Structure 1
Amino acid sequence: MTAELVRGQNHPLPHTRLEIRVSAGHPVLAAATLGDEQGRVAGPEALAHPGAAELPGVEVPRQAAARHRLAVDLEAVRDTVHRVSVLLALPLGTGGPTRFGASAAPVVTVTAPDGTGIADYTITGLDRESAVVALELYRRQGSWKVRAVGQGYEGGLAALLADQGLDRAPELAGSVLDAVAQGPARAVPAPAARAEDAAGRVPEGERAHQAAQTQPAVPVQPPVTPPPPAPAQPPAAPSADGPIDYTHPRRRPAAAAAPGPAPQQDAAPGAAAAPADFPAPVAGDASGWTMDERLYNQVWGMFEDLARATAAYRSACNFAESRLDQELDRVLSDPRSRIGGAGDAARAAAKAKHDELTDRAQEALDRDLAQLTAESEVVEPALPAAYARWDSPVWQAYRVPMEAPIAVRLGDLHLPERTGLRVPFLARLPLARGLWVDSGRGHSEAAMLLDEAELRRLALESAVAHAVRLLAVHPAGRFRVRVIDAAGAGAHAFAPLVEAGVLAGPPAAGAAGVSAVLKQLTERVDLLQMASRAGAAEDLPPGLDTAEELLIVHDFPHGFDDRAVNQLRYLADEGPSVGTHLLLVADRADAAAYGPVLDPLWRCLTRLTPVPDDHLADPWVGHSWTYEPPAFPAGSSILRQVLAQLSDSRGQWGP
């Protein structure tokens, strides 16, 4: 049964030897790139195109045509290859169309070598683009899947190759087009566009992307760069992820599910074959030198998979609704349907078809969510303290680390389709942006149910939880925390930090305290930046501490004059580059008097909330994700235990 994919949807591949068939309304050139686990392409030698049509495991056509067949053998690709991207481009300069929107949408079909269909994708939504990444075959937990991408480029093949990470992309694109120009294009008539493609629907990914323009996006923090390959292992015992032996068991694809019933003629995008068994998940099943790196990359992969699986489900449901509306309109516009029971029968048939399409979309989503849930249940208990929830047992055995981790957990993210499936929200270290815990109501329904005083209390407690975690995951003496609490309103929340002696100094109060701390930090940032730019770290003043610092500003802008506001903006902009970070606890409405002068400040900070809020968007399809802040379990002694460990280590590095 062939799965009809929509943009962003993935589907398991039951075979490793495949044929990819392309059908377009005009001649196109076909190419493929071989990328690592993050999709990066090593160089021109990893690009198969008409001028160099064969790579290990991939062969593409040698000329432009309206119909193509690409051969792929996933067992023959190198161990370092985790993604095979199928590219289509218009052979510009041949007198043909200059944009994909000028003719029928291209159709890409993945089949077994005997022609049995596996997955089918119609690339809708293209207009001025002249190059497109059609499909992506990617390795996940030892199995291969296909994902419908449909990412178009108005800048043509050069822009596409540049986005794939290839150097000198314009020259490379020119050589590919020249190779096509040397041979005549074969203009084979393509089949007519499908009826559902003429409905004018917009893929879920593009709708979500448009919606995401009005909300802050989750900072794009790409997975950790995998290590260079180690010397090859003996062929008899290859590793799961390449030549590096990570000691966890080899992942093997599960057997494909039995074929389902024959597809209906009106199969909807997003409808998939009967779900296949998935391999048992393994914590740390990703690239990286250390387990921490591999877990970070695995969490990132789960985040992306959940985003794309949900996008495919929503797109399929929207298509079913649109199709139902069209069929009901046809029923109502036909006078014959108003006689007898013909109209009722037609409406019932349309509703039954709608229900069938949504049920199949739900089945595909349930399959993906089941796999991700099983993976989450294995990964969550294996997370180190930097990535773990506060209620994780790993904190019971906490000790101050000897080195900083690569990331830190700032909370959890989930989607309404499965609120119980939560993905850790990890931020890379050192922080590239400061943090802002919003103590205002914003548009959060949860915040609307709380009074102002309670919301501000929760915001400060959330900021303290973030600060304690940042202190806890850094080695002794390599991370300091300062506090500005101009009105002293946060004395109760800061008391555990003060009593444990983990602050770099007492909380600064009053206008004089604010001015003194900001002056000291801005001068420190100036000195470190000058030394860094001049390569003269040895010329820094004796005794200048180069450890990273976090400045918590509570109840901003209370106690801040114009000069202090400008200093704070400077720290937010320039501080992260030399290890000085900002954690702002504020309600933007309180600073409205400053007008647009503070807009750059809010934009350069990652907004977090003290209560669940759906203000974050992912970098793939732009879903609105519900962010849940970290919190210490009620009645837990974890805060005291962690602060006690930090206090004991403080003697090693002084005040």
Structure 2
Amino acid sequence: MAAELVRGQNHPLPGSRLEIRVSAGGPVIAAVTLGDEAGRLRDPGWIAHLGSPPLPGLEVSRQAAADHRIAVDLEALPEAVHRVNVLLALSTGAGRSLSFGALAAPVVAVTGPDGTDVAGYTVTGLGTESAVVAVELYRRQGAWKVRAVGQGYAGGLAALLEDQGLPRARESAAAVEEGIAAGAARAPAPPPARAGGEVRGRRTAPVGGPPGAQGTAPEALPEAPPEAAAALRPAPAGPPAPPAPPAPAASGPVDYRHPRRTPRAAAAPPPPVPPPSARPETPDRPVAGDGPGRSMEERLHNQVWGMFEDLARTTAAYRGAVDFADSRMEREMDEALADPRSRLGPGAEAARARAGERRAELVDRARAALERDLAQLTAESEVVEPALPPAFARWDSPVWDAYRVPAQAPMAVRLGDLALPEHSGLRVPMLVRLPLERGLWIDAGRASSAASPTADPHRTRRLAGELATAVAGRLLAVHPAGELTVHVLDPTGSAGPALAPLTESGALREPPATGPQGVAQVLAGLTRRVDLVRMAERTRATDALPPDVDLAGQLLIVHDFPHGFDDRAVTRLRYLADEGPSAGVHLMMVADREEAREYGPVLDPLWRSLLRITPVPDDHLADPWVGHAWTYEPPLVPAGSQVLSRVLGRVAEARRRYGR
């Protein structure tokens, strides 16, 4: 899943051979400039454009067009090249637009040679600029990354090349303009605008995993998502994200104001930002349910999605700003100390101090913008959390005191909370769409976070069992009576204390299956059900199913895998994980992957097909949008609370009342 970048954010590149695709609202010139270690453009020979001789490692378009493909081989570039800038310029021919403000925002996509998406960036906020550095590929500590730049120049190519340190920049720009003029005559008419803003199958607006976007472990992202990784069905896309803040002039300050904190339903551009003296001291009071949607449930769901997006975006902007400040300080110090004669003495110390002060100023401004956005998000969370229905609420919410068995299933269910280290106190509910499209794996082994080596393995295993019971209890509570049947496999009989709320309340139709024979019997019954339902759906004969087939949704909880499983049972479990969701059979495993090592790579597809969650906080979840490592916090029942037992008791009572 490609990372959607915001201005200033960077992303690692997976290989040396890349393709950069550009789409604009009209004919533009796509060119490339090369920079040395200090970011300077040494001579006109380091500019690849439609009228220049071919450069090693680069292949650019040979005419003005609305769509471009630029091929880059980083290993074939000259050794002295440390930066590759992708720039866009407008033709000055008759009938051509003279500024990017008159065109749709250009979209840049970085892909692998096979077309695999790596990163995307929409260059917004342009006005009178006629040239812009869209993205740059840069090398740091032997590794290449891509950074979203979006720096526009009202002075055109001359100002752009001059800013990159090219000697006699205006003469070089004139030579490039000649090539542009020659190529403009061959430029095709601009194609009609694509519906929905799509560029070769990609969306111009970032589409990522909300709290309900099926996230997964970072190592599984390429196979699972986006997930986030991705895998839980992504939430319905909200309204388009508002445009990024206007790009600063070449000599002006960088504007780190976060653009996302505007009403999500507004279609008009945001109003001009008033001076500090005219701004209100406090932002508008947030309101629960201000997301788009027809029902309050849908509005709250989309509002939570918006909060997740806001937190991801503002954190990405802050991290990108800090990285930009570090890069700028390094560049300024390299330029100031380039002459060996000036590396010592008070002049060198003053240059270092000035560079450090400018970095601190940029970071402070970015931090202030981050704190402002986090404060508003915190205020919104404090309003939204108490208004959430049972399916979205924490176990300690008062909404459970008035719980009643619902008449219909909700659109999503809460499977925990997500947080980022910049503000550990702000947590966004992780909402997963129903019905589940992926099974769940509750990892009873060692988590991957820095704190996990100190965790007690016995306590982690106990908490894993309690988490499975809490998740199963919530799923039972949010479904109508009798519409979800829970089966439990406990081959060793060790999960009894953790299963007590389920067994003692009567919410289970059958007691937990124990021993290899009990495991085989339950797996055989569910496998038969999946086969029959899929066959009936293919032949459109669902009314011909045998009367003993339970048409309610099925949830299978597996404790202590692989104990009590032989090869045949493992094969059936993999079949249920792959084919079960389409037939209404869902899997939840409580397992330590290390204990199943004897099966080797045979079980790797099983682990990858499941959404991994942990019984202790862990930073293993990654979103597919900007790639943050989110800290996951499990939805455990508070110690000493009887809320789960009370809720399951009402579920069992409703099932008996309706004979289900």
Q: TM-score, normalised by structure 1?
A: 0.66
Deviations along 1:132-172, whole A, 9 cap, x unmatched? 762469xxxxxxxxxx99799xxxxxxxxxxxxxxxxxxxx
Contact 2:106/2:124, CA 8 A, preserved across alignment:
no
Structure 1 residues 263-319: Cα deviation after superposition (integer angstroms, max 9, x where no partner): xxxxxxxxxx99997443222222222111111111112111211211111111011
Report if the CA contact (8 A) 1:255-1:277 is conserved.
no
Q: Choose which of 234, 246, 270 in structure 2 pairs with 1:222.
A: 234
2:274 to 258, 263, 269: 258
Distance 1:376 1:9, change over 3 A: farther
Instruction: Report the secondary structure of 2:426's partner residue.
Output: coil
In the TM superposition, 1:188-337 aligns within 5 A as: 189=157, 191-193=159-161, 195=163, 212=218, 217-218=227-228, 219-220=230-231, 221-224=233-236, 257-259=273-275, 278-337=283-342
Contact 1:105 1:124 in 2 (8 A): no
State whether structure 2 residue 398 is matched by structure 1 residue 393. yes
- Counterpart of 2:122, as a letter, is A
CA offset at residue 544 of structure 1? 2.0
Code of the aligned partner of 2:572: Q
Farther-moved stretch of structure 1 (335-344 vs 434-443):
335-344
Query: CA–CA distance in 2 between the matches of 1:515 and 1:394?
Result: 40
Q: Distance in 2 between matches of 1:563 and 1:127?
A: 42
Question: For 2:606 and 2:652, how far apart are their aligned partners in 1?
Answer: 33
Partners of 2:472 and 2:334 lie apart in 1 by 58
Whether the aligned pair in 1 keeps the contact of 2:488 and 2:513 (CA below 8 Å) is yes
The corresponding residue for 1:42 is none
Are the equivalent residues in 2 in contact too, given 1:304–1:620 (CA < 8 A)? no
Q: Secondary structure at the match of 1:610?
A: coil
Instruction: Give CA-to-partner distance per residue, 1:12-32, whole Å, 9 cap, x none.
Output: xxxxxxxxxxxxxxxx9742x
1:631 has 2:636 as partner = yes
Q: What's the secondary structure of 2:401's corresponding residue?
A: helix
Letter in 1 for 2:348: G
Aligned partner of 2:6 in structure 1 is: 8
Instruction: State the shift of 1:452 in Å.
Output: 1.9
Say yes or no: does 1:556 pair with 2:561: yes
The residue aligned with 1:619 is 624
For 2:133 and 2:580, locate their aligned partners in 1 and report how far apart those are by CA, in whole Å.
38
Deviations 1:414-436 (A, max 9, x none): 00001111111111000000000
The answer as to whether partners of 1:439 and 1:456 remain within 8 angstroms in 2 is yes
Residue type matched to 1:454 in 2? R
How far did residue 640 of structure 1 move?
A: 2.0
Confirm or deny: 8 A CA contact 2:486 2:554 kept in the other structure.
yes
Aligned with residue 105 of structure 1, among 87, 93, 108: 87
Measured after TM superposition, the shift of residue 406 of structure 1 is 0.3
Partner of residue 465, structure 1: 470
In structure 2, the partner of 1:536 is 541
- Partner letter of residue 258 of structure 1? P
1:451-474: per-residue Cα shift (whole Å, max 9, x none)? Answer: 221110011101111000000000
Could you tell me which amino acid in structure 1 is paired with residue 400 of structure 2? W
CA contact (8 A) 2:506 2:649 kept: no
Residue 135 to residue 376, structure 1, CA distance change in 2 (3 Å): farther
The residue that corresponds to 2:210 in the other structure is none
2:376 corresponding residue in structure 1: 371
1:109-120 to structure 2, matched below 5 A, reads none
Q: CA deviation at 1:573?
A: 0.5
Contact kept? 1:483, 1:506, Cα under 8 Å? yes
> Using the alignment, how far apart are the partners of 2:276 and 2:578 within structure 1?
57
1:6-49 Cα deviation digits (max 9, x unpaired): 94259xxxxxxxxxxxxxxxxx9742xxxxxxxxxxxxxxxxxx
* Distance in 2 of aligned mates of 1:348 and 1:259: 30
TM-aligned CA distance change 1:192 to 1:387, over 3 Å: same
Which of residues 435, 444, 451 in structure 1 aligns to 2:449? 444
Separation in structure 2 between the aligned mates of residue 465 and residue 296 of structure 1, nearest angstrom = 21
Distance 1:482 1:598, change over 3 A: same
Q: How far off is 1:127 after superposition?
A: 8.6
Q: C-alpha distance in 2, partners of 1:356/1:443?
A: 35
**Structure 2 match to 1:134:** 122
What is the CA deviation profile of residues 231-251 of structure 1, one whole-angstrom value per residue up to 9, with x for unaligned ones?
A: xxxxxxxxx988xxxxxxx99
Which SS does the other structure have where 2:415 is aligned?
strand
Q: Is the 8 A contact 2:621 2:629 kept in 1?
A: yes
2:414 alignment partner, SS class: strand
Aligned to 2:193: none
1:68-107: CA deviations, max 9, x gaps? xxxxxxxxxxxxxxxxxxxxxx996747774297875248
The one-letter code of the counterpart of 1:315 is G
Q: Letter of the aligned partner of 1:622 in structure 2?
A: G
State, as a whole percentage, how many aligned pairs show the same letter: 53
2:415 matched residue in structure 1: 410
Retained in 2: the 8 A contact 1:251–1:279? no
Q: What is the rounded CA distance, in whole Å, between the counterparts of 2:479 and 2:7 in structure 1?
A: 39
Residue 425 of structure 1 corresponds to 430
Unmatched tracts of structure 2, length 5 or more: 9-21, 32-58, 73-83, 91-98, 126-131, 137-154, 167-205, 207-214, 240-262
Change (3 A) 1:542 1:596: same
Letter of the 1:134 partner, please give it.
T
* 2:321–2:363 CA contact under 8 A, matched in 1: yes
Aligned residue pairs, count: 487
Q: Which is further off, 128-137 or 613-622?
A: 128-137
How far apart, in 1, do the equivalents of 2:109 and 2:547 lie?
A: 61
Partner AA of 2:522 in structure 1: V
CA distances 1:357-376 after superposition (whole Å, capped 9, x unpaired): 11111122122222222221
Partner of 1:352: 357
8 Å contact 2:23–2:106 — kept in the other structure?
A: no
Conserved 8 A contact 2:414-2:432: yes
CA contact (8 A) 1:133 1:149 kept: no
Tell me the residue number matched to 2:592: 587
Answer whether contact 2:417 2:634 (CA < 8 A) is retained. yes
Go from structure 1 to structure 2 and tell me whether the alpha carbon gap of 1:150 and 1:422 turns closer, same or farther (over 3 Å shift). farther
Task: Note if contact 2:420-2:631 (Cα within 8 Å) is conserved in structure 1.
Answer: yes
Residues in 2 aligned to 1:415 and 1:469: alpha-carbon distance in whole angstroms = 25
1:325 is displaced (CA, Å) by 2.5
User: Letter of the aligned partner of 1:105 in structure 2?
Assistant: L
1:559 is matched by which residue type in structure 2? G
TM-score by length of 2: 0.66
What is the CA–CA distance in structure 2 between the aligned matches of 1:226 and 1:342, rounded to whole Å?
A: 54
Query: Moved runs in structure 1, 4+ residues, more than 6 A?
Result: 90-93, 100-103, 121-125, 127-132, 148-152, 250-255, 273-277
1:645 aligns with 2:618: no
- Post-superposition offset of 1:562: 0.1
The CA distance in 1 between the partners of 2:350 and 2:341, in whole Å, is 12
Tell me by how many angstroms 1:340 deviates.
Answer: 4.1
Which AA in structure 1 matches 2:70? R
Cα offset for 1:192?
A: 1.4
* Alignment-derived partner of residue 502 in structure 1: 507
Mark the CA change 1:29 to 1:425 in structure 2 (over 3 Å): closer, same or farther. closer
CA distance in 1, matches of 2:384, 2:106: 35
- The answer as to 2:387 corresponding to 1:382 is yes
Per the alignment, in what secondary structure is the counterpart of residue 657 of structure 2? coil
Structure 2 vs 1, CA of residues 275 and 593 (structure 1 numbering), >3 Å: closer, same or farther? farther
* Structure 1 residue corresponding to 2:458, chosen from 453, 456, 468: 453
